[in-house]
Amino acid sequence: MTTNNTYPTRQALQQFDTPYYYYDTELLRQTLAAIKAETASHNNYFVHYAVKANANPKLLKIIKEAGFGIDCVSGGEIQAALDAGFPAESIMFAGVGKADWEIELGLDAGICCFNIESVPEMEIINEIAVRKGKTANVCLRINPNVEAHTHANIMTGLSENKFGIAMTDMIDVIKRIEQLEQIHFLGLHFHIGSQILKMDDFLRLCDRINELQDYLEENGYKAEIIDVGGGLGVDYDAPEENPIPAFNAYFDVYRKNLKLREGQQLHFELGRAVVAQCGSLITKVLFVKENGNKKFVIVDAGMTELIRPALYGAHHKIVNLTSTETAETYDVVGPICESSDVFDKDIPLAKTKRGDLIAIKTAGAYGETMASCYNCRKLPNGYTTEDIMSV
Ligand SMILES: *Cc1c(COP(=O)(O)O)cnc(C)c1O
């Protein structure tokens, strides 16, 4: 069984100044093991952790030790990956706007692959590679025009989104690559969105990739690797019941529907599904106030620590770790001077008072990495189970 239902004792949690992130490393290890169990028997499957979900060095170390590769979307992330000890050959570098210094860093480090999104980008990578006397492996990020059933702000695979190269341009772009001396065409890359819970969306991606591979081969080209991106969602409503995402169903879609060619590698880039459930934002109640018939719990964390509710209208399960009294209905809000600084409205919470510790669950992905200093606040610390035990 997993440990996600349990938190360290109140005394242990109170050692640190709030707000902070608490990471259950046992659950992270179990999650990594669950992914390994699905992929271990396929020696052509490679999973790259998408570091933008959480770049905490303590988590990166655990993920690296479990043998995962890494997916980066910036030079800073490449540096974080290298600092955490990920081999350069395990780094995929995506992103619609790569700066020259980021391309140089990738080439100097000798990363596995640049996932490229436009012809001008490819030409600049070639120019820099020629100057350095290096060769850049590239995958073309193809926009497969597959709709992912998720929030519009995290849907990336429709032709109206800014990401990728249109399917109809694919062959022309590969022909252009052939003219670029220091670019090697490695394969095709896709990423249709995030927090996807309908396996049918991934199924449609498989169908589209199958069509594209046929089309590629009709034109005399072959992909050495297919990279299907990430996007598997997690259960924000019932993290206790589903602490580990549906990896079996997810990998099954690809195993059963994607027609890989002889010797072809299949790469995945999972972010949220790896780290979301192991993280909680721990915050302290500053005040409980009543306005008319509303009760507000005002906590010391805000959208500066966890922006997802304000940015996407995301829901996170919220629990009071220090009260066992009968539940009442509250709005849980932060201290930031923005009306959208609300974690949730009209939710049941054990009767709450000043000083209580609150956990905002499933906050391990796109939490700490999206924190800001707005209102001149300090960035939150992240502590693991080991940190808490060792104090
Ligand atoms: C964000 C991102 C991912 C990871 O997405 P998740 O939904 O967190 O799994 C993978 N690949 C690319 C290119 C991304 O931008």
pLDDT band with cut points at 50, 70 and 90 for residue 2: very low
Token pair belonging to 160? 């109206």
360 pLDDT more than 90: yes
Predicted pLDDT of residue 163: 79
Q: How far is the CA of 36 from the centre of ligand 1 (A)?
A: 19
75-83 vs 100-109: helix axis angle to the nearest 10? 30
Chain centroid offset of residue 40 CA: 22
**pLDDT digit string (tens) for 79-118?**
999 999 999 999 999 998 999 999 999 999 999 999 999 9
Task: Give the Cα separation of 287 and 264 in Å (integer).
Answer: 58
Is pLDDT above 60 for 352?
Answer: yes
pLDDT digits (tens, 9 = 90+) for 311-329: 999 999 999 999 999 999 9
310 within 8 A of 301, measured Cβ to Cβ: no
Q: From ligand 1's centre to the CA of 195, what distance in Å?
A: 10
**Strand residue runs (E) in the chain:** 20-23, 45-50, 69-72, 91-93, 113-116, 136-143, 165-166, 183-189, 225-227, 265-270, 279-291, 294-299, 318-320, 327-333, 342-350, 357-360, 381-384
Ligand 1 probe mutation, 73, 198, 250, 268, most atoms within 8 A of CB: 73
Q: For residue 211, how far is its CA from the centre of ligand 1 (angstroms)?
A: 23
- CA nearest 299: which of 316, 287, 317? 287
Rounded CA-CA distance 308/276 in Å is: 12
Tokens for 41?
């028997």
- Cα–Cα dist 225/316, whole Å: 36
User: What local confidence, expressed as pLDDT, does residue 4 receive?
Assistant: 46
Name which residue leads in pLDDT, 274 or 96.
274
Decide if pLDDT at 5 tops 60: no
Residues β-bridged to residue 290: 295
Model confidence, pTM:
0.95
Q: Which has the minimum average pLDDT: 46-50, 72-76, 197-201, 289-293?
A: 289-293
How far away, in angstroms, is 231 Cα from ligand 1 center?
A: 6
**CA nearest 19: which of 319, 336, 358, 376?**
358
Rounded to the nearest integer, the mean pLDDT of the chain is 94
Residues 138/185, Cβ–Cβ less than 8 Å = yes
**Least confident interval from 22-26, 167-171, 266-270, 350-354:** 167-171
Look at residue 244 and tell me whether its pLDDT is greater than 90.
yes
Measured from the Cα of 230, ligand 1's closest atom is: 9
Instruction: Point out which residues pair with 335 in neighbouring strands.
Output: none
Distance, CA 365 to ligand 1 centroid (Å)?
Answer: 11
Average pLDDT of the residues in 361-385:
97
| pLDDT at 41 (0 to 100) | 94
Using pLDDT thresholds of 50, 70 and 90, give the confidence band for residue 159: low
List, chain by chain if needed, residues with CB within 6 Å of any ligand 1 atom: 50, 52-53, 71, 73, 94, 191, 194, 229-232, 269-273
Q: How far is the CA of 87 from the centre of ligand 1 (A)?
A: 20
pLDDT for res 147: 76
pLDDT of 152 over the 80 cut: no
How many other C-beta atoms are found inside a 10 Å radius of the C-beta of residue 33?
12
Q: How confident is the model at residue 3 (pLDDT cuts 50, 70, 90)?
A: very low
Give the C-alpha separation, 66 to 63, whole Å.
5
Distance 229 CA to ligand 1 centre (A): 6
Structure token pair of residue 199 = 């396996």
| Percentage of residues of the chain with pLDDT beyond 70 | 95
Closest atom of ligand 1 to CA, residue 270: 9
Q: What is the pLDDT of residue 148?
A: 75
Q: What is the pLDDT of residue 306?
A: 98
Atom nearest to 231 CA in ligand 1: 7
Q: What is the pLDDT of residues 31-80, one digit of tens each?
A: 999 999 999 999 999 999 999 999 999 999 999 999 999 999 999 999 99
Q: Measured from the CA of 196, which atom of ligand 1 is nearest?
A: 7
Mean pLDDT confidence for 256-285: 98
CA dist., res. 48 & res. 69, Å (int): 4
Phi, psi of 115 (to 5 degrees): -90, 110
At residue 228, does pLDDT exceed 50? yes
Which residue type occupies 269? E
